Copies of this chain bind each other. A is one copy, B any other.
């Protein structure tokens, strides 16, 4: 019997264990990747005591001047109460301006301060490097495909909730 016929994947599993149903479980796998992401984060990823979500907030504010906290919450898949905490700290630290919208004063229009812009410039480079480092074990085509599939998965669930 030829050995090449439908070899059973032989996925190396952490600790040499039999993965059982976990091998094809998206919950387990994404949790595992999150752990890998955390472990590969450089100590200086979050400059000056910034929290993880605050970097993502900076990224989105930088790319969407005047965005509201509600839209930010949707984009980051966070509760609005969580966004309040994230933004409040960024405001206190002087990285973000939070102004009530002129047309509808329920909204906060968020923007980066000069200091926030400078911080983001430094941070974004580290952020991209970190992501690249995590993805390094994959070939270029695989990296693109993984990102595409994750984007599609998230996008699909958010467009039809």
Residues of A within 8 A of B (CB): 11-37, 39-41, 52, 56, 59-60, 62-64, 67, 70-78, 124, 127-128, 130-131, 134-135, 137-138, 142, 145-147, 149-159, 161
Contact = CB atoms under 8 A, between A and B. Distances in A.
A75 B33 contact: no
Given A15-B71, A17-B67, A128-B25, A138 B153 contact: yes
Copies of this chain present: 2
A53 to B, nearest CB: 8
A26 B33 contact: yes
Contacts of A41: 27
Contacts of A138: 149, 152-153, 156
A78 B35 CA distance: 8
Given A14-B154, A15-B74, A145-B149, A30 B37 contact: yes
